[in-house]
Amino acid sequence: MPVLSAVATSATAPEGGVLHWTIRLSAPTTGAVYGFTAKAPGGPELDSTDVTPDWLGQWVFPVPTGPVPLSGLAGFLGPGVTAVVFFDPGATEASFDIPIAADGAAEPAESVRFELAPLFAGDPTIPAAGLALTGTVPAG
C-alpha cells in the first residue's frame, strides 16, 4: 500500500489566489482517491464566502448564501467540507487546490485545516497518524 504525504503541509495565498498543496504517493497505483475534511483551525477560519462558489459547489450542496465556517458545513462524510484528491493511474502526485474569492473586505488573517479522512468505514489506506494540511489567507 503506497504511503501518502505532502510536499509541504502549509500554504499561504492572498484573496484572489489559490491555496495549493502537492500530495504524493510513495509508489504508483492503478488510481487512488483520498478525502480531506475541514476541521476548525483554532482561530479565525475561512468560511463559505472566502472560497469561490465553483469550488465549494463541488463538495457542498446547497451552497450557503451567507458565511459559514468550512468546518461547520455539512460535507458528504459528516461535519466539515470534504474535498477529494484523485490520483490518475500510474501517477504519484496530485494537486489539492482551494481558490480564494477576492471580496476586498477588510478581514483578519484567516486559516483552514484539512485532515485526511476515510472515504468509507475501515478504509485501510488512511494512516493512523493522519495527514493535516493548513492554509492561511493573510489579513486584507
Q: Which domain CATH number covers 108?
A: 2.60.40.2030
Q: Is residue 124 part of a domain?
A: no
CA atoms of 140 and 121, how far apart (whole Å): 41
Are 18 and 36 spatial neighbours (Cβ–Cβ below 8 Å)?
Answer: no
- Looking at residue 57, its pLDDT comes to 94
pLDDT band at residue 3 using 50, 70 and 90 as cut-offs: confident
Q: Is residue 89 part of a domain?
A: yes
Distances (CA, A) of 39 to 28, 46, 78, 85, 88: 29, 11, 11, 17, 27
pLDDT band at residue 124 using 50, 70 and 90 as cut-offs: low
Q: Is residue 78 part of a domain?
A: yes
Residue 131 in grid coordinates: 495527514
Task: Tell whether the model's pLDDT for residue 131 goes beyond 80.
Answer: yes
Mean of pLDDT values over 52-70:
93
Q: Which residue has the cell 493511474?
A: 89
Residue 73 belongs to domain spanning: 4-119+130-137
Q: Is residue 92 part of a domain?
A: yes
Mean of pLDDT values over 7-31:
92
Number of structural domains the chain divides into: 1
Q: Is residue 125 part of a domain?
A: no
CA atoms of 70 and 63, how far apart (whole Å): 11
Q: Is residue 81 part of a domain?
A: yes
pLDDT in tens, 69-100: 999 998 877 889 999 999 899 999 999 999 99
Sheet strands side by side (includes 4-6): 4-6, 18-25, 93-99
Task: Tell whether the model's pLDDT for residue 140 goes beyond 80.
Answer: no
Q: What percent of the chain has pLDDT over 90?
A: 60
- Which is higher by pLDDT, 38 or 77? 38
